Each structure stands twice: as structure tokens, then as C-alpha cells.
């Protein structure tokens, strides 16, 4: 069961991150290079759609932390991944408020 949870967590987080960039590509292709650089900060709809996978990914990562044996390399790497994910969310929400 634990390896399945690990694989599921990796897939959900990876798909969320990759899907955001794939779905924003059509929005990036529309303007000219100059216009794109001008409006680069626009929040593309692709991010809105794919962000639905991010909270479940973070929750699964947290669940993995509770199920992993403490003081192992896998535990600390997962803890670091969870910390970075939380920091990413905090930065996003504080910066785009």
C-alpha cells in the first residue's frame, strides 16, 4: 500500500506541475514576442485548471510523511519536498494578493 501511495503522490504532483505549463502554452503563443514580454505576468487560465491537483498532492505528501519511518533519507527528502511546496503556495498567495 505504501509504494502505491508514493507513486500516486509523485504522479499527482508531477502532473499538476507539468499540466500548468502545457495549458498555458496556447496563451503564450498568441502575442508577439514584445507583447508577451510586456504581459508576462498575466495569470493564464491553464494554471487555474491545473491548480486543482496541487492541494491533493500536498495532502498526499503530508500523509506520506506520517506513514514513513522517521529519520530516514526518504523521510527527510519528503519533508523537504513538502516544505518547498508549502513555501511555493505561501509565496504565490502572498505575492498575488
Element of type H or E holding 38: helix 33-38
Confidence of residue 1 (pLDDT cuts 50, 70, 90): confident
C-alpha 51/C-alpha 45 separation (Å) is 10
Q: Where are the domains of the chain?
A: 2-95
Confidence of residue 92 (pLDDT cuts 50, 70, 90): confident
Place of cell 500500500: 1
Q: How far is CA 3 from CA 12, 58, 66, 86, in A?
A: 14, 17, 14, 23
Average pLDDT over residues 1-7: 83
pLDDT in tens, 59-71: 888 888 899 899 8
Amino acid at each position: 500500500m505504501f509504494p502505491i501511495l508514493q507513486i500516486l503522490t509523485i504522479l499527482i504532483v508531477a502532473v499538476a506541475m507539468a499540466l500548468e505549463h502545457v495549458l498555458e502554452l496556447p496563451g503564450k503563443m498568441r502575442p508577439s514576442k514584445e507583447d508577451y514580454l510586456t504581459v508576462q505576468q498575466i495569470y493564464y487560465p491553464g494554471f487555474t485548471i491545473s491548480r486543482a491537483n496541487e492541494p491533493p498532492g500536498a495532502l498526499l505528501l503530508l500523509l506520506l510523511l506520517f506513514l514513513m519511518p522517521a529519520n530516514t533519507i526518504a523521510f527527510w527528502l519528503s519533508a523537504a519536498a513538502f516544505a518547498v511546496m508549502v513555501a511555493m503556495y505561501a509565496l504565490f498567495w502572498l505575492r498575488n494578493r
